[in-house]
Amino acid sequence: MSVPAALAIRMAAIVSTIVLARNTRACRLVAMGGSILASVVTVTVAMTVVRSGQSADGVLFNHLASGIVFSYAVTPLSAWFLLVLGLVAVPVAVYSTAYFAHAVTPARTAGVGAMFNTLLGAVEMVFVADGVITFLFAWELMTLATALLVATDHHVRASRRAAYLYLVMSHVGTGCLVAAFLVLAAQTGSSSFPVLLAGHVASGPLRNGLFALFFLGFGVKAGIVPLHVWLPEAHPAAPSSISALMSAVLITAGLYGLFRVCAFGLGAPTVRWGLTFMALGALSAILGVLYALTQNDVKRLLAYSTIENAGLIVLSLGAAMVALAYGKSELATVAVAASLAHVLNHAVFKGLLFLGAGSVVMAAGTRQLEEFGGLLRRMPWTGLFFLVGAMAISGLPLLNGFTSEWLMFQALLLGFASTPALVRLIFPLCGALLALTTALAAACFVRAFGISFLALPRSAAAAEAEESPAAMLVPQAILAALCIGLGLFPAVVLRALGGVMTFLPGLAPATALAGDGLGMVSSPISFDHVAPVMLAGALLAASGVAVALARRRGVALRRVPTWGCGGQLTAATEYTATAFSKPLMMIFRAIYRPTREVETLTEVSPYFPREVRYRAAIEPTFERYVYRPLVDAVLRVAEGMKVLQAGSLHAYLAYVLVLGVLLLLWLGGTS
Amino acid sequence: MDLALPVIGAVLQSAAMLAIAPLLKVTIKKMKARLQNRQGPPWRQGYSDLAKLLGKEPVRSETASWIYVAGPRVYFAAALAATTLVPVVFAAAPLEAAGGILLLVGTLALGRFALATAALDTGSPFGGMGASRDMTIAALAEPALMLGLFTSALAAGSLNLGVLVRGVVQHGPSFHPSDLLAFAGLFIIVIAETGRIPVDNPATHLELTMIHEAMVLEYAGPDLALVEWASAVKELLYLTLLVDLFMPAGIARSAAPAAVLVGIAAWIGKVFVLAVAVTLTETTNAKLRLFRVPELVSISLGLAFLALAIRFL
């Protein structure tokens, strides 16, 4: 069992998918079956490395003529990310066997199936790449595969635009990465990661410049504000199981880069780097959740929530960097553990939520929350699993979101207690922001679940919705079970992180955080501990009391219509998703800058309107104030350069001549 | 780990809180009535109301699903389970091993999530309105609540309420001005979280001003009894939390009968003092418009941050 084996299985799956292109069903089964097999191999490899803490390395591909060697190394950090990838990729592949039959036209099945495996294989290579060439090759393959998947429905203009935006932004990011890796390689004369990322290659302003370039490059993929604009466009455009992969795997690749290079690959981080991470992480978290709250498109909502969670991960990674800069290794350990645990937890619950959203969108034929409603009756299982995901992402105890957010709070409070004045004030402020983010996420997912699954159906399609087939429900059940299992026994995650922590420079092993096995403690001063499973016992007993108290023996339950305020209760009188988030929209109007138009059409008297048209929108701040000017500037420069493009062959020959002469003069001058 | 003692303690403490909670509601109602030159309800009113509701036939909406049934039960269970996480009479919480402040806040959030979700289930516009407002206010209150709690926790060096209270008892109260600021900040949040004037009016059923009442408008009979009872327990819990953090004097440190009696008397006395404060706030203030609540909560956030700053800078 090794990484090349997993990649070989994926290659075989890709080839057979394309060969079988005519037979849609076989093509789907081969693509997904191969993917599941490969992911299982990946998980096995990752588990071995995480457990032993020993890296496994080797050569993927050796081109003798050019001397290009693709080498890999499964370090404990890589293994953690591979584990996250595998845990989500298996359920997503199972789901896709049934889902693609509906969501992808037969003509495109082979392409999507091949790209599905290409994306996963490329991300696996990103995680295990041991040199610049391998890394950049895999990185670019990952970008292109995702772009093709986003453009699956390329007859839809929005999909093409989303793919284009994603490609442009990704390539600006990749450009930054290439530049930074070239500088590093020029400093050392090597292209292998153990040399480049040993930490002592660059120093001074050069190191800061490299940090900025790497941050830009990885930040685009991780969806950090203000580099996030592609994310809410690309996620809804792709088929839902691909969206699940994008949130759980692609974003994670960006985060891996931030961990591997920015935090632990450029030498000891400085306080400023850490604070930059914390500030941008907090900004992403709060803006992500605020925008998620007002979305009526369920997949856009989940995409914005991904920005929020990536922000939380970067926020606690930043806390770890500040701690490392001050030499507080215990604090850094708590913060990195929080961060890495949240990478796993987010992948699990966001994968689950996207799969649930996929089932709902498939059943109702729309992504609009306002056209769902009452789905719990039609789709009881999907509803139950979506509820588990919603509760997990809201950071409620007994589920996995709570455990990593608990660790984040510990890191922020310990950070306050052990850093010098002024810097320390940042920590409780971030703590308050984390509390606000969590509570807003709860509001957001009460809305998302309640409006979609409860009350009366809001459209004919929702009233006729059908429950998904078992092949789509079982993967959701697996992920929901993971949410609960990881939430009740967080010590399992911390034990697994032990090897990863010892691999990263400057950290203490996380096993100390695992306590006596029931829950988690935050070292070093028994500051706090938590054992969710004990609370589960108490809650179970208390629910028993509640049920016993409210039980009326021998009295039949009476079912009556809901009071319709004097009129008929219909879907039109229900509270809408827009109305639900309206108070928060008003309170945070400085951020949303909402606009609305109300148009009343009347016939006889203004008191008897025939039709009221209402349009509300929130301002796309970043698109309008950051990207619009940037794009305009680029276009202006391009316009100016058009002068050179005269269209005359003679002019072009003249350019070549002039350039040749100038080069000769320059070269002559230097020798 | 020996589980017998924590389990017995948890059962006794939660049963006691459950039994006393309706009395707190009536006490506040009575005091409020006296301040308005009215008689107020008899002492047993809280119990009579619950008994009446529990004895009624269960009535549910045709549109509602199992979420509607689960809502009040989870809300009740969360409030009840949360009582085992705070020290009341003894300077230790029965289920201290389960977790501290963060778990307590999380457990209450679980109850709120369940009830707000269930409110959307009947299709009544009131449920949605109430859920939306309740989640909004909770979201705004959360950072101020956390920051206020952090001030106490950092001063004591622990986020566990038991450790925290024992620390304060051992070293005596610090009489640091930051305590006053943090207390004022948290008091505002307790008012907001328990749905009291000036944030919410527990006595109103006026369509446009209801928050919590709108959320549970569709509930009747035993289901409503659970919600009412859990809300009472939650209020008692929040006041006990304030008592624990800022005035732990008299709390029992041993199981000696004298210490326990003093502990019980001290707890009742201190909660009563806070109940008087809540009553006075309710009587002397008018209910705020919903969109003025953020201002009130920002005051609390500011106070908590100032407390933190003057304590540790």
In chain B, residues with a C-beta closer than 8 Å to the C-beta of A559 are 59-62
Are the CB atoms for B166 and B92 separated by under 8 Å?
A: yes
| Percent of chain A topping pLDDT 90 | 69
Instruction: Decide: helix, strand or coil at residue A594.
Output: strand
User: What string of H, E and C letters represents the secondary structure of A618-635?
Assistant: ECCHHHHHHHHHHHHHHH
Instruction: Give the model's confidence band at A670: pLDDT under 50 very low, under 70 low, under 90 confident, else very high.
Output: low
3-state DSSP assignment of residue B50: helix
Q: Mean pLDDT over residues B115-124, rounded?
A: 94
In this predicted structure, which of B152-156, B171-175, B214-218 has the lowest mean pLDDT?
B171-175
The number of beta carbons lying within 10 Å of the beta carbon of residue A664 is 10
DSSP string, B124-189: -HHHHHHHHHHHHHHHHHHHHHHHHHHHHHHHHT-S-HHHHHHHHHHH-----HHHHHHHHHHHHH
Q: What are the CA-CA distances from residue A249 to residues A120, A126, A161, A306, A613 (Å)?
A: 8, 11, 22, 11, 41
What per-residue confidence (pLDDT) applies to A566? 82
Which three-class secondary structure state does DSSP give residue A72? strand
**Between residues A418 and A102, the one the model is more confident about:** A102
Q: For testing the chain B interface, which of A454, A533, A581 should be mutated: the one with the most B CBs within 10 Å?
A: A454
> What pTM, to 2 d.p., does this model score?
0.95
Q: Identity (one letter) of the amino acid at A113?
A: G
- Of the pLDDT bands very low, low, confident and very high (cuts 50, 70, 90), residue A517 is low
Lowest mean pLDDT among A106-120, A361-375, B242-256: B242-256
Alpha helices in A71-131 (DSSP H): 76-103, 106-128
Nearest-Cα residue of chain A relative to residue B222: A550
What pLDDT does A504 receive? 87
A465 φ/ψ angles, rounded to the nearest 5 degrees: -60, 145
pLDDT over threshold 60, residue B79: yes
- Smallest CA-to-CA distance from A120 within A102, A101, A138, A136 is with A138
Q: Given this model, what pLDDT does residue A470 score?
A: 95
From the list A413, A534, A542, which residue is nearest B98 (CB)? A534
Q: Looking at the predicted complex, does its ipTM rise above 0.90?
A: yes
Which DSSP symbol is given to A89? Answer: H
End-to-end CA distance of chain A: 56
- Label each residue of A525-583 as H, E or C: CCCEEECHHHHHHHHHHHHHHHHHHHCCCCCCCEEECCCCCCCCCCHHHCCCHHHHHHH
Strand-pair partners of B90:
B252
Task: Find, in chain B, the residue whose alpha carbon is nearest to that of A448.
Answer: B117
Partner-chain contact A531 B98, CB within 8 Å: yes
Please state, in angstroms and rounded to a whole number, the distance separating the CA atoms of residues A251 and A310.
8
Residue A510 has pLDDT above 80, yes or no: no
Mean pLDDT lowest for which of A60-64, A462-466, B236-240, B302-306?
Answer: A60-64
Mean confidence (pLDDT) of chain B: 92
Q: Measure in Å the smallest separation between the Cα of A564 and chain B Cα atoms.
A: 7
- Polymer length of chain A: 671
pLDDT of residue A642: 85
Q: Integer distance in angstroms from the first to the last C-alpha of chain B?
A: 40
Burial class (CB in 10 A: 0-12, 13-18, 19+), A96: buried
The answer on pLDDT for A151 being more than 90 is: yes
- Shortest CA gap B147–chain A (Å): 6
On the question of pLDDT at B312 being above 60, the answer is: yes
Mean pLDDT on B133-160? 91
Which residues on adjacent β-strands are paired with residue A596? A616
Pair A218, A258: CB distance under 8 Å: yes
* Residue A528 Cα, gap to closest chain B Cα (Å): 5
pLDDT at A525 over 50: no
Q: Which of A52-56, A129-133, A303-307, B302-306 comes out lowest in average pLDDT?
A: A52-56
Q: Which token pair is B37?
A: 């030159």
Is the CB of residue A11 less than 8 Å from the CB of residue A132? no
The minimum CA-CA distance between A455 and chain B, rounded to whole Å, is 4
pLDDT at A69: 83
Q: Give the SS3 label for residue A490.
A: helix
pLDDT tens-place string over residues A245-284: 999 999 999 999 999 999 999 988 999 999 999 999 999 9
Residues of B in contact with A396 (CB under 8 A): 106, 109-110, 113
> Tens digit of pLDDT for each residue in A162-204?
999 999 999 999 999 999 999 999 988 888 898 888 888 888 8
Say whether B123 and A456 touch across the interface (CB within 8 A): yes
Closest CA to A37 of A11, A57, A63, A56: A11
Beta-bridge partner residues of A68: A63
Do B181 and B304 form a contact (C-beta atoms < 8 A)? yes
Q: Round to whole Å and give the CA distance between A148 and A144.
A: 6
Q: Which two tokens stand for residue A129?
A: 């790449």
Please give the DSSP secondary-structure letter assigned to residue A71: E
Q: Tell me if B112 and A442 make a contact (CB, 8 A cut-off).
A: yes
Secondary structure element (H or E) that encloses residue A143, with its range: helix A132-150
Least CB–CB distance from A550: residue in B85, B223, B309: B223
- How many beta-carbon pairs below 8 A join chains A and B? 287
Interatomic CA distance for residues A394 and A417, integer angstroms: 27
**B102/A556 touch (CB, cutoff 8 Å), yes or no:** no
Token digits for A253? 């690749």
pLDDT tens for residues A612-652? 888 888 888 888 899 999 999 999 999 998 888 878 889 89
Residue-wise pLDDT for B165-215, tens only, equals: 888 888 776 778 888 999 999 999 999 999 998 999 888 888 778 899 999
**What per-residue confidence (pLDDT) applies to A1?**
66
pLDDT (tens digit, 9 = 90+) per residue, A579-620?
A: 999 999 999 998 888 888 888 888 888 788 888 888 888 888
Q: Is the pLDDT of residue A550 over 50?
A: yes
Highest mean pLDDT among A84-93, A102-111, A488-497: A84-93
- The answer on pLDDT for B69 being more than 90 is yes
Q: Would you tell me how many other CB atoms lie within 10 Å of the CB of residue A570?
A: 11
Tokens of A151: 């453009």
B300 has a chain A CB within 8 A of its CB = no
pLDDT band of A514, cuts 50, 70, 90: confident
Average pLDDT over residues B92-104: 91
Report which residue type is found at A309: N
Residues of A in contact with B220 (CB under 8 A): none
Any chain A CB within 8 A of the CB of B225?
yes
